[in-house]
């Protein structure tokens, strides 16, 4: 077992974050040391916990109780009913987690889901998600959001923006950085020495030779050719509708997609229970489950912790590597 725990943030306390963290601890306690950053009042009743003042205590107590690095919120919570007065505590927990990892007290960060609108309304949170906030906390670095499972890895080149904003946000500079950051991340975090990348087109049928959009002809295709000539195994632009079937998935290690849903629909359809969100490009390891806060089932004891378990396993494995 590693000497350092994975720091797990509470996420939105009215969502399923606390209960899947508790369930993941019960599953992984002998294998993946962790500490949970949050308010103990927000955990399901009956969860065995050990409050720790020093992250170093986590490994010692993790076998018998969920180590809790206490972070008091303004009050208790009702599952399924977000309370805007608790929003700042959610943001602060992420900062604490990053500090623990960057100071060497934790091996990696695993974040439970946040509710973006609740944080925006309750705490004036200026970021569309963890990914962008962590890029800032990591030193305003270029990051990519990857969703990964045993069956598929996808990267949306544009993330949390309106579909109508995608064409203007998808600049050659942005796409090149995403391709390069993904290749580096596959080498450094996944141990794939010569990563193979497939790039989706923006338009139906990758533009159909200009009949359904011209971005592929004008710059996406030429850029991919140029990057390929520099030695990276990158191909495309490919028709997004035909690049995710089983045989096609065998031909690449990650699919670079043009926008959020083009990337996330295939992986959540294939592997909703076991997909992991990993941020590449950060100076530390960060993973998260692929799902959100699930207010509709919070507190009912039916949330599936599998994605959280996979996220913790992946964080520990990447940190160890």
Binding-site residues, in ranges, read: 130-131, 160, 205, 260, 268, 277, 286
Q: Which of 68, 197, 255, 264 binds ligand LD2JLWAY (CB under 6 A)?
A: 264
303 binds ligand NAI (CB under 6 A): yes
Q: Which residues contact 36 (CB under 8 A, 6 or more apart)?
A: 8, 10, 21, 25, 43, 66, 67, 68, 69
> Concatenated DSSP letters for 217-250?
IIIIHHHHHHHHHTT-EEEEEE-GGGSSSHHHHT
Which residues in 138-157 contact ligand LD2JLWAY (CB under 6 A)? 145
Binding-site residues from annotation for substrate: 130-131, 268, 277, 286
The count of residues interacting with ligand NAI (CB under 6 A) is 19
For residue 8, what are its two tokens?
Answer: 């797990």
Report, in Å, the least distance between residue 76 CB and ligand LD2JLWAY.
24
Selection from ligand NAI, ligand LD2JLWAY, none that 110 binds (CB < 5 to 8 A by kind) is none
What is the rounded distance in angstroms from the CA atom of residue 108 to the CA atom of residue 315? 6
Q: Which of 42, 115, 130, 274 binds ligand LD2JLWAY (CB under 6 A)?
A: 130
**Cβ-proximal residue to ligand LD2JLWAY, closest one:** 129
Report, in Å, the least distance between residue 131 CB and ligand LD2JLWAY.
3
203 binds ligand NAI (CB under 6 A): no
Nearer to ligand LD2JLWAY, 35 or 134 (CB): 134
292 binds ligand NAI (CB under 6 A): yes
Selection from ligand LD2JLWAY, ligand NAI, none that 131 binds (CB < 5 to 8 A by kind) is ligand LD2JLWAY
Scanning the structure block, which residue is given the tokens 């396993």? 313
Selection from ligand LD2JLWAY, ligand NAI, none that 304 binds (CB < 5 to 8 A by kind) is ligand NAI
Are the CB atoms for 264 and 140 separated by under 8 Å?
no
> The dihedral of CA 216, 219, 222, 228: what is its sign?
negative
Q: Give me the half-sphere count of Cα atoms (radius 13 Å) on the Cβ side of residue 193.
A: 0
Strand 276-280 to 144-148 pairing: antiparallel
Q: Which residues contact 38 (CB under 8 A, 6 or more apart)?
A: 9, 10, 13, 18, 68, 70, 71, 73, 93
What is the rounded distance in angstroms from the CA atom of residue 143 to the CA atom of residue 310? 21
What is the rounded distance in angstroms from the CA atom of residue 254 to the CA atom of residue 321? 20
Site string (174-193) toward ligand LD2JLWAY, x via CB under 6 A: --------------------
What does the binding site for ligand LD2JLWAY look like in residue numbers (CB under 6 A)? 114, 129-131, 145, 264, 277, 288
What does the binding site for ligand NAI look like in residue numbers (CB under 6 A)? 16, 20, 113-117, 130, 277, 288, 291-294, 296-297, 303-304, 307
């Amino acid at each position: 077992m590693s000497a350092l725990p994975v720091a797990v943030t509470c996420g939105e306390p009215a969502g399923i974050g606390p209960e899947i963290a508790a369930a993941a601890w019960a599953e992984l306690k002998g294998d993946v040391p962790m500490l949970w950053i949050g308010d103990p009042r927000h955990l399901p009743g009956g969860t065995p916990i050990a409050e720790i003042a020093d992250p170093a205590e986590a490994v010692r107590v993790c076998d018998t109780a969920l180590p809790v690095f206490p972070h008091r919120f303004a009050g208790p919570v009702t599952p399924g009913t977000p309370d805007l007065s608790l929003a700042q505590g959610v943001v602060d927990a992420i900062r604490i987690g990053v500090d623990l990892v960057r100071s060497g007290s934790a091996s990696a960060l695993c974040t439970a889901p946040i509710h973006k609108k609740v944080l925006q309304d309750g705490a004036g949170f200026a970021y569309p998600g963890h990914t962008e906030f962590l890029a800032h906390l990591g030193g305003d670095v270029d990051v990519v959001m990857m969703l990964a499972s045993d069956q598929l890895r996808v990267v949306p080149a544009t993330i949390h923006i309106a579909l109508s904003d995608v064409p203007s946000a998808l600049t050659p500079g942005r796409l090149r950085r995403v391709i390069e950051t993904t290749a580096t991340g596959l080498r450094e975090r996944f141990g794939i020495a010569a990563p193979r990348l497939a790039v989706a087109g923006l338009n139906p049928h990758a533009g159909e030779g200009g009949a359904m959009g011209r971005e592929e002809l004008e710059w996406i295709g030429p850029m991919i050719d140029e990057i390929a000539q520099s030695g990276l195994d990158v191909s495309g632009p490919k028709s997004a509708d035909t690049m995710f079937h089983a045989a096609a998935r065998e031909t690449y290690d990650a699919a670079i997609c043009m926008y959020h849903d083009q990337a996330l629909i295939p992986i959540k359809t294939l592997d909703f229970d076991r997909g992991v969100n990993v941020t590449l490009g950060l100076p530390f390891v960060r993973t998260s489950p692929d799902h959100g806060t699930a207010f509709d089932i919070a507190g009912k004891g039916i949330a599936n912790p599998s994605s959280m378990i996979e996220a913790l396993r992946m964080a520990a494995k990447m940190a160890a590597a």
